[in-house]
Structure 1
């Protein structure tokens, strides 16, 4: 009789380490700076004095990615160029630097960004910030008419998206209370928006809707929307479709051109690891990007947009003739020359992405997030927390959102922070955990689950004690003995 393989103990350090040793992408972890626990708790920037300080367990790349080691080297090259070349840095090719002359920093990164979002080179511009790019896109693609003026978004949209849509409506003298269609879950206890519900709502308001704007991945639940299906369905009704890809870019493979998305925008400080508030990106499908040399009288010959000098053709950019000739492509939506410091951080990150592929990163991400889900399910703590992210791996990225029982969040987060486990919270009761495949490991996931269980047990025990105290005290005279003991 053949020997049966023993079922591995998923909660053992030996198992987690064996998975890390077999991980073909494990070497990427060394290309990032992982804060130590002592440095996280310190109030100064002075490095830890410990001989071998313990690294924190960082699972917060969905909020802010870790710093690549290349970033400081590239930033030093940029600063040295500025220091030694001054204004000539715009045009001078530096032989011992990976950085392009400042005049071409945007063009230098476009091809690599297109690989990440699934676009053609003429469909992407690296510019501005996420919300600014959404506004710039809506200035072109939200054109309300007497018959079509509504905008469909999710009811629990990230506040910045909600503000942007609301202000666009107000800018066009539309009442947000009647012009903003909010997608709400059909089940109040389940925050997931099904594709069918989105399509049905689109059908219901199709004749009066001008624009549909949704997130690729929902920030709160971690749900990955079916971009291709939703886009195609809305466009059949003549609705323009835009996507906020803040939590999707660099997280999982995207195919914006193939999915026929009208426009999209994203940031670069989450899974793209470019630093807080770093530069954003804009996608405009090539069908909207043509520039006609023979425009009709009174028409510009290109999709209307808010214009700036960096969006004008490079050959005439410095002619100072005040004749806007837009770049054919998404580059024509650029305004000012981009921050070279931001572009330098992006270049450092892209040089890491270029050593692998989004397909390889997605493969690891599915395994790593699946391991996290399995461990959490085996804790058997249904009364303490639930996973609100879809269980189908195709409907999520690298994030699992955990909804805690009422009253546990503050204590759980305090224990995690004290133990050097970095995740983030969304009040009143959700913890978001994001194992980023570029730098996170199976060992990271195991340590999180262990500390999380400890934190939940402690918080639950404290809550039960507080409840018991409250009940006994409310009992009045019969509970006098309890108050004396306390």
Structure 2
């Protein structure tokens, strides 16, 4: 869709014709002191709360109150297998088979557990590739993995960098890195959607390049799950991990998700840190059995899961299952296209979009680079109850989320930005 038009009437017309517009009313939207909705563009940092979440959590609180420990088996949604209630929906969201996905722990915990299995360095093949502007947590995780295995993190960490004067990554440069140092590289750990620029990378191509040099390939999907369609199974990546509190609207600090490709599902020789929940469900309560690892992603579990967090995730995933990622991506591309159109119409050299202009190479985040790193622009937006976020050194991240943001939200945000820029 490219025939966008300026003006509020056009935005309202798009909302009237939007088949997903009614989902907006199913979320709690923060309000100012006058009762007006904030313009909320930070679903890339913390998604809004579905109104159904309270009911889902209350169900588990009631069952805990009424059943105590028997809730593990007698609750309306029995707690023992509760994580299984999330698997099919989560698998659809990330393009995986159910055996490849489990909801557990938090993002960086999962990355460390996965690297126990998939980062198996030798004296000569031990280096790890990340994107140069990876989220700090990923950088800290791989640095400490290198150090844990006795390597110098500064020497063992290879950065895939944008070219001079550019903000975005080029796959040709990753290919060059692998051609030159592939024999020394054990692992690629790449952010599928970069947190800063919003660039969505070609996961299948990354997997092909890494595997051609006998490297393991892992993906951080913190900014991808519920946003883009990563098609993890078809991509061929070895593993992935993500959080659920951004686009998946599960609440602050909620559990993450984990993917292990089916090709590894039955390899019980893979090294891992195991726990009770890694063990065969049929004999788990025999207590004195030697470890019999569950096939697939469930075999990376450690402990029984926090049910209240999973209840919040279930509330959101049930909505995602109802809508489907195809419809969400279609609206997302229209929303960001419209957003991009209006920002370009400003024709103001104070701001510049650094996110790829090709909708297939981005999710719903647009990153606006501010000349001279003028953070006052972001502060003025916040004061006007337009909630974006600032990322050092000079970017305002804005994410019109298709489940609850409208075309009118986008119009009003850019209109306010225009006013601020012109004062």
Distance in structure 1 (CA, Å) of the matches to 2:343 and 2:406: 16
Distance in structure 2 (CA, Å) of the matches to 1:58 and 1:402: 16
Q: Which runs of 5+ in 2 are unaligned?
A: none
Within the alignment, does 1:20 sit opposite 2:2 as a pair?
no
Within-5 A mapping of 1:359-374: 359-374=326-341
Equivalent in the alignment of 1:376: 343
Distance in structure 2 (CA, Å) of the matches to 1:240 and 1:428: 32
1:289 to 237, 260, 265: 265
Q: Secondary structure at the match of 1:335?
A: coil
Distance in structure 1 (CA, Å) of the matches to 2:309 and 2:115: 24
Equivalent in the alignment of 1:440: 405
2:72 to 90, 107, 111: 90
Equivalent in the alignment of 1:165: 142
Total equivalences in the alignment: 422
CA shift at 1:233, angstroms? 1.4
1:395 to 361, 366, 382: 361
Equivalent in the alignment of 1:29: 24
CA shift at 1:32, angstroms? 0.6
Equivalent in the alignment of 1:339: 306
2:269 to 270, 289, 302: 302
Distance in structure 1 (CA, Å) of the matches to 2:4 and 2:104: 48
TM-superposition CA deviations, 1:66-120 (whole Å, max 9, x none): 00001011111111111111001100142xxxxx210011111101100001111
Distance in structure 2 (CA, Å) of the matches to 1:345 and 1:374: 35
2:295 to 315, 325, 328: 328
Tell me: CA distance 1:15–1:179, structure 2 relative to 1, closer, same or farther (3 Å): same
CA shift at 1:147, angstroms? 2.2
1:202 to 178, 187, 201: 178
User: Over the residues paired in the alignment, what is the CA RMSD in angstroms?
Assistant: 1.3
Tell me: CA distance 1:12–1:202, structure 2 relative to 1, closer, same or farther (3 Å): same
Q: Give yes or no for contact 1:31–1:69 (8 Å, CA) kept in 2.
A: yes
Within the alignment, does 1:225 sit opposite 2:220 as a pair?
no
Within the alignment, does 1:413 sit opposite 2:390 as a pair?
no
Equivalent in the alignment of 1:463: none
Q: Secondary structure at the match of 1:326?
A: coil
Distance in structure 2 (CA, Å) of the matches to 1:289 and 1:211: 19
CA shift at 1:457, angstroms? 2.8
Within-5 A mapping of 1:244-283: 244-283=220-259
Q: Give yes or no for contact 1:217–1:223 (8 Å, CA) kept in 2.
A: yes
Q: Give yes or no for contact 1:37–1:419 (8 Å, CA) kept in 2.
A: no
CA shift at 1:428, angstroms? 2.3
TM-superposition CA deviations, 1:238-258 (whole Å, max 9, x none): 010000000000001121111
Q: Give yes or no for contact 1:289–1:303 (8 Å, CA) kept in 2.
A: no
TM-superposition CA deviations, 1:6-51 (whole Å, max 9, x none): x99833211110000000111111111101022xxxxxxxxxxx5x
Q: Give yes or no for contact 1:190–1:388 (8 Å, CA) kept in 2.
A: no
Q: Secondary structure at the match of 2:397?
A: strand
Equivalent in the alignment of 1:472: none
Distance in structure 2 (CA, Å) of the matches to 1:455 and 1:322: 66
1:145 to 110, 122, 143: 122
Equivalent in the alignment of 1:464: none
Q: Secondary structure at the match of 2:258?
A: strand
Q: Give yes or no for contact 1:117–1:249 (8 Å, CA) kept in 2.
A: yes
Q: Secondary structure at the match of 1:406?
A: helix
Distance in structure 2 (CA, Å) of the matches to 1:401 and 1:205: 32
Within-5 A mapping of 1:104-143: 104-143=81-120
2:419 to 436, 449, 454: 454
Q: Secondary structure at the match of 1:105?
A: coil
CA shift at 1:334, angstroms? 0.2
TM-score by length of structure 1 reads 0.85
Within the alignment, does 1:184 sit opposite 2:151 as a pair?
no
Q: Secondary structure at the match of 1:210?
A: strand
Which of structures 1 and 2 has the larger relative contact order (alpha carbons within 8 angstroms, sep 6+)?
Answer: 2
Distance in structure 2 (CA, Å) of the matches to 1:197 and 1:104: 45
Distance in structure 1 (CA, Å) of the matches to 2:4 and 2:272: 58
Distance in structure 1 (CA, Å) of the matches to 2:3 and 2:97: 45
Q: Secondary structure at the match of 1:153?
A: strand
TM-score by length of structure 2 reads 0.98
Distance in structure 2 (CA, Å) of the matches to 1:312 and 1:107: 15
Q: Secondary structure at the match of 2:323?
A: coil
From the CA coordinates, give the structure whose radius of gyration is larger.
1
TM-superposition CA deviations, 1:212-243 (whole Å, max 9, x none): 01001000000000111111111011010000
Q: Which runs of 5+ in 1 are unaligned?
A: 1-6, 39-49, 95-99, 292-300, 459-486
Tell me: CA distance 1:8–1:243, structure 2 relative to 1, closer, same or farther (3 Å): closer
Equivalent in the alignment of 2:59: 77
